[in-house]
Amino acid sequence: MNQYYIDAFTGPAATGNRACVIELEEWLPTEKMLELAKRNGLPETAFFVKQEGDDQYVLKWFTPDIEMDLCGHATLATGYAISSLIYPKLNNSISSGESFSSNSNRSNCIKRVLKFDTNSGEVAVEVAPDGRLTLDFPSRMPEPAKLPENILNALNFKPLEVYKARDYVLVYNSAEEIENMEIDRTEFDLINMDPGGVIVTAPASGSRFKDCDFVSRFFTPQATILEDPVTGSAHCSLIPFWAKRLGKNELTARQLSKTGGILYCKDQGERVRISGYATEVK
């Protein structure tokens, strides 16, 4: 068993979300993996086992509390660990069959595709020559919903609109409201959303975040860690929502936690692409 600590969705003024990536030769009991995740005390610990064939893996994610159905930042971290630290020699082959020239757009060429069998079906991480990693995840367009009274009472700002897919998506008018959001856990923790959470989001226009299209934060009731620093899976709903609202398929997002994260997003109908960078923590 080998483990690696990776910060995912890093960028300018953003140190991302830390994940522990654990390489296994064979699966441990679920209780043991949950115990290791609790011991790590990070938002997510990812466990993977390599399968027959090139870059085929089975992947599972655990918070300190539960096994998750889908996790973006820990998948990105796993893709980085495999392609940069564990099996880097495979980077010498170009899975797309393209050859690179000095005039080619290297960031858009796929150098390697890692495929993961997960509880949410097959997901992939594409590894580009410039180090950018791209998640291929399912789209989860949120639908109008009624917010539970306890969640509403826990918020210091009331949302303009409420939607829900796996997570509640609460829409606000300004990025400043998202930055200054506070949660009263005595009310918030009366709700169990296993495995979902609450996304608060707003357009970035008119704010100081001129490098992005929308901002968000993510909170989980009854979780050991209330706020997830950067939440790739939340963007399965945020991408189609903001793509439709803003009338554009390619967007840049920023998650406004204390560490912060930058996500490069693309809406592709039934799938979304979520890109970012990662670094090893030594």
Contact assessment for residue 170 and residue 147, using Cβ atoms and an 8 Å cutoff: yes
What pLDDT does 110 receive?
61
Hey, how many other C-beta atoms are within 10 angstroms of the C-beta on 247?
7
Specify the CATH number for 143-267; select among 3.30.70.1290, 3.10.310.10, 3.60.15.10, 3.40.50.150. Answer: 3.10.310.10
pLDDT at 19 over 50: yes
What pLDDT does 103 receive?
33
Active-site annotation holder among 25, 31, 44, 143: 44
Could you report the per-residue pLDDT of 145-188, keeping only the tens digit for each?
999 999 999 999 999 999 999 999 999 999 999 999 999 999 99
Residue 97 pLDDT class (50, 70, 90 cuts): very low
Answer yes or no: same fold for 2-138 and 143-267. yes
Instruction: Indicate if 176 belongs to the active site.
Output: no
Please state, rounded to an integer, the average pLDDT across all residues of the chain.
92
Q: Cα–Cα distance between 275 and 125 in angstroms, integer?
A: 9
Could you report the per-residue pLDDT of 37-53, keeping only the tens digit for each?
999 999 999 999 999 88
List the domain boundaries for the chain.
2-138, 143-267
Could you report the per-residue pLDDT of 105-152, keeping only the tens digit for each?
444 556 799 999 999 999 999 999 999 999 999 999 999 999 999 999
Tell me the H-state helices in the chain: 30-40, 72-80, 149-154, 175-179, 185-188, 235-246
What pLDDT does 91 receive?
61
pLDDT at 203 over 90: yes
Predicted model pTM: 0.89
Residue with tokens 């918020």: 155
Q: Cα–Cα distance between 17 and 5 in angstroms, integer?
A: 10
- Strand 214-219 vs strand 250-255: parallel, antiparallel, or unpaired? parallel
Instruction: Name the CATH topology of 2-138.
Output: Diaminopimelate Epimerase; Chain A, domain 1 (3.10.310)
